[in-house]
Chain A
Amino acid sequence: MDEIEEFNGRIRTLGILFILVIVILLGRACYLQIYDGVYYSRLADGNRIRIIPTMAPRGTFFDRNGELLVTNRPGFAVSLLPLTEPIKPEVIQRLSDLLKVPKEDIEKKIAAHSGFDPIHIKSDVTPDIVSIIEEQKESYPGVVIEVQPIRNYILNQMGAHTFGYVSEINEAELEKKKEEGYKSGDIIGKFGLEKVYDQELRGENGGEQVEVDVGGRPVQILGQKEPVPGNDLVLTIDKKLQEAAEKAVDEQLMQIHANAAAAVVMNPQTGEILALVSRPAFNPNLFAHGISSKDWNLLNNNPYHPMDNKAITGEYPPGSTFKIVTGTAALTEGVVSPTEKILDTGRHWIIPKGNAEGEALGWIDFTQALAHSDNVYFYEMGNRLGIDRLEKYARMFGLGEKTGIDLPYESDGLVANRRYKQKNFEDGEWYLSETFDAAIGQGFNLVTPLQAAMVMGEIAADGKRYKPHVVKKIVTSDGKTVKDIQPELLSQLEVPESVIQRVQEGLHQVTKIGTAASSFRGFSVDIAGKTGTAENSQGRDHGWFVAYGPFTYPNIVVAVIVEQGGFGSQSAVPIGRKILEAAFGIGAYAPNAQKNIDESKAQKLRR
């Protein structure tokens, strides 16, 4: 009987043990499902829900007349959806073979990735690749095709430096811009307006919320968010004028066998940039779907730096165009009267520096000196002013600092001054000969073509300096104006009106009797101009031409430089003339010019 009781006791112990087992299991279930339930629900959703972004189309660029400049075209991108399981090496191999992307690159992208957003493998693939992936879904688990608008620079090289280019965000940019909502694989503006206005242009990506199975295969769409297209830019650029300017530059470079040039066309009364040219150029479409290393090397190894926007980044000695500054300073400071005549014997009497070709113009006044770009006269002006007053006026014109144009990588230029010499040279003392050089735009002085245009523009606009800009208006994709960019007056030259008029008249005479007279004979619009020939220690001189017109109410200012083009009157003036013709619709650009040519051809045929 004892035995039975002992047994029953032990059975009871076992029974209690079983109850304990169930209680423990229930407790654990309660902990997982009730206490931690929300947490695990989120994990379960993370397992099954993927967001496949729909890229927003970037904003379009229009010219000032509503002509299309930069747009988008539909493209396809290949991405990998991160899976709960590791992505199989044979899938990576297959993708690498299909897309011709090195296996290591794909692996790197997978390794660098976190979270559940798709891993971007290749942009802008051909329709064949899309259909291969769609047809052989089983061989490509987790691979998805995303529709992706691809940037389309319909004008190719034209305006490339202004428009810029886009490309996939790199690690350094991502690090900096994470807070602004940029993600790996995003397309970002790298240059030009694309870079400056990226925030406006990029829009807001939409997305599809997709339920996937363990193999990453989409099972159903749970939700959708439409992308918001980026804002459009209406530029101040005039497509026709831009086209004409590029053509003029290209023709001239071809003719004189030069390689690099830049041109700026601006409205001096508003600061609106009408055309901006830099040569050599590049095709921004190359970057839209990932530039090949061959193309990149070609661009990178070009000694004339096609990727630089020379119109705002290039720094050149201003040469004789600087005489505008020197002349204004001399008249304002009263170191010379407009009628005072100075004897040019071919050389200055203190330091034997003379004119480029050694010619002597005899007794000349201010207007004649400016028209003929006489060096001796302006050496004397430099002598009378001294370097400090020259510097003051150069800075008054806005030289030596960025103009503030809405394009990236603008250079400051340089105004010759004592501090610069002290800081950068062992022999920090300032010599008179250096003042002489500075007075005619040589020596330390450096300007960008845009700055040269600004100086000319300030004379044209009676001393007003407007902030140059390329964007006129920012509008939403459905046409609402977000921002209307008004002319911004930066400063007013503190010189008497009479002085500006004197300078204007001198520049007017340049195209009448002076250095550009032969090129502008019979030109139906009155033009003021100034040529320049900037000495270049690296090779041939750079040729300059700055001009504005019509003389009485100027709304066009042009600045042209031809690198190593020799005399400005021979290299830069022909370009400037053609641009002015296009701007005023005269000469080859007269409304009936094409008709006349056609008629003469027809007549020839009739004969």
Chain B
Amino acid sequence: MSAMTKRLLKRTDFLLLFSTLGILVISLFIIGSATHINTPSEQRYWYVERQGIFAVVNIAFAAFLMNFDYKMLQRYGTKLYVFNLILLLAVMILGHSALGAQRWIMIGPISIQPSEFSKLIMIISLAGVLEHKVGKINSIQDLLPVAAYVGLPFLLVLKQPDLGTSLVFMAIFLGMIFAAGINLRLLAGFFAAGIAAMPVLWHFLKDYQKMRITVFLDPNVDPLGSGYHIIQSKIAIGSGMLFGKGLFGGTQSQLNFLPENHTDFIFAVVGEETGFIGCTVLLLLYLVILWRGTVIARDASDAFGRLLAVGITCMIGFHVLVNVGMTMGIMPVTGIPLPLMSYGVSSLTTNLLAIAILMNIQLRKSKLQF
């Protein structure tokens, strides 16, 4: 056994690996259920096959990436940043619109959602920038350049309009500057400014976005329109009770009362078909990932790795909070997917690459003694 393999085995974060794989397996079953795999038709396996194939391809690619040191990414920070901007601009020009937002680019048979990738790119380039500023963000003058650095892609995403992803940007940004040791007063001031700016931002929101927020506050405002998703999703989850209605047995999802049930609202299928027990298992698996993410951040060998790990963990944590919260009616409908669960090539690839980076950081942490 080569030293490399030995080190790999010794340093691999199995908890992270297995919880990731666990969620992936659950996701294949639930996507199957949500897309009526139990109803005979020609396309019944289409979604599961696609998601499965891309998962395998991505895992293989991620394993291959273990050969490279994550620190290489540092060098590409600026180039990735520029690439990110170009990608987001391309969406605005070439993008296909779905539900009032331009988010997709078709590359051959695959539709790509660049805003998914841009989150990860954002984390890498921001980690590159913040690496040199750890402990040195003490005034507005220190903060402004960083804010502007994130602000540009943030605005492009907001313009798509993709409120969900821009909120993820915000969460990543806050998580990373917090980890970078920002002066807490400055952070509080930044928060205050953000809250003060909300009424202004409200005017920039599209009508459907305003409606989503209104409906979040009271779904019954428009029970057959915008509130429909929330109401039906709550019914699905609630009616799952303790044990659920059984896999493929959810009446809400099998009879199509629940829209988008294999993508953004997949957690509702979990809730309906596997009950509180299934929800608990899934949420605990996420907790393992988040816990490992923070541990990896703590143990990383350099500031870049630490910031990278924090960014990734914040991204996943925020996704889980907003997505699951949305299906249960405690977060507004913003259309961000549940990591590793929701059907979607871009989201799946982004999240698997993110996990791969976490594992890479773990693999190359300094404190390990041979």
CB <8 Å contact, B239 and A11 = no
For B318, the closest partner residue in chain A by CB is A21
Given contacts A7-B306, A43-B235, A44-B235, contact A18 B317 (CB under 8 A): yes
Determine how close the nearest CB of chain A comes to the CB of B327; give it in whole angstroms: 10
B226-247: which residues lie under 8 A (CB-CB) from chain A? 228, 232, 234-242
Residues of B contacting A38 with CB < 8 Å? 241
A191 to B53 Cα, complex, angstroms: 72
Closest Cβ of chain B to A23, distance in Å, is 9
What A residues does B251 contact at CB under 8 A?
Answer: 44-45, 47-48, 211
Measured in the bound complex, the distance between the Cα atoms of B271 and A7 in whole Å is 37
Q: Which residues of B contact A11 (CB under 8 A)?
A: 179, 294, 297-298, 306, 310
Query: Can you name the residue of chain A whose Cβ is closest to the Cβ of B241?
Result: A37
How far is A316 from B279 in the complex, measured between Cα atoms in Å? 82
Is B51 in the interface zone, CB < 8 Å from A?
no
* Selected contact of A29 from candidates B237, B294, B313, CB within 8 Å: B237
Nearest chain B CB to A44 CB, angstrom units: 4
The reply to whether A7 and B179 contact each other, CB–CB distance below 8 Å, is yes
Cβ–Cβ < 8 Å partners of B324 in chain A = 25
Q: Which residue of B lies closest to A25 (CB)?
A: B324
Chain B 241-275 interface mask (CB, 8 Å, partner A; 1/0)? 11000000001100111000000000000011001
- A26 contacts B279, CB within 8 Å? yes
Instruction: Kindly state the separation between the CA atoms of A32 and B257 in the bound complex, as whole angstroms.
Output: 18
Q: A25-B328, A44-B236 are in contact. Are A14 and B279 (CB under 8 A)?
A: no
Contact partners of B304 in chain A: CB under 8 A: none
> Contact: A25 with B239, CB < 8 Å?
no
Are B257 and A33 neighbours in the complex by a CB distance under 8 Å? no
Nearest-neighbor residue (CB-CB) of B287 within chain A: A22
Given contact pairs A29-B237, A29-B328, A6 touches B181 in the complex (Cβ within 8 A): yes
CA distance A212 to B279 in the complex (A): 27
Chain B residues lying within 8 Å of A6, measured Cβ to Cβ, are 135, 181
Determine the chain A residues whose CB is within 8 A of the CB of B275 once the complex forms: 33
B298-310, CB under 8 A of A: which get 1 and which 0?
1000000010001
> Is the C-beta of B321 less than 8 angstroms from some C-beta in chain A?
yes
- Check B359 for interface membership: any CB of A closer than 8 A: no
**B240 / chain A contacts, CB cutoff of 8 Å:** 33, 37
Interface string of A1-38 (1 = CB under 8 A from B): 00100111011111101110110111011101110111
Q: B297 — nearest CB in chain A belongs to which residue?
A: A11
Contact for A18 among B178, B242, B294, CB less than 8 A: B294
Q: A296 near B: Cβ within 8 Å?
A: no
The proximity string for A residues 40-78 relative to B, scoring 1 for CB distances below 8 Å and 0 otherwise, is 110111011000000000000000000000000000000
Question: Quick check: A47 and B252 within 8 Å, CB to CB?
Answer: yes
Whether B238 pairs with A32 at a CB distance below 8 angstroms is yes
**Residue A84 at the chain B interface, CB threshold 8 Å:** yes
Q: A213 touches which one: B135, B179, B256 (CB < 8 A)?
A: B256
A interface residues (Cβ-Cβ under 8 A, vs B): 3, 6-8, 10-15, 17-19, 21-22, 24-26, 28-30, 32-34, 36-41, 43-45, 47-48, 84-86, 211-215, 219
Q: Which 5 A-B pairs have the closest CB atoms?
A: A40-B238, A37-B241, A44-B239, A18-B290, A213-B255
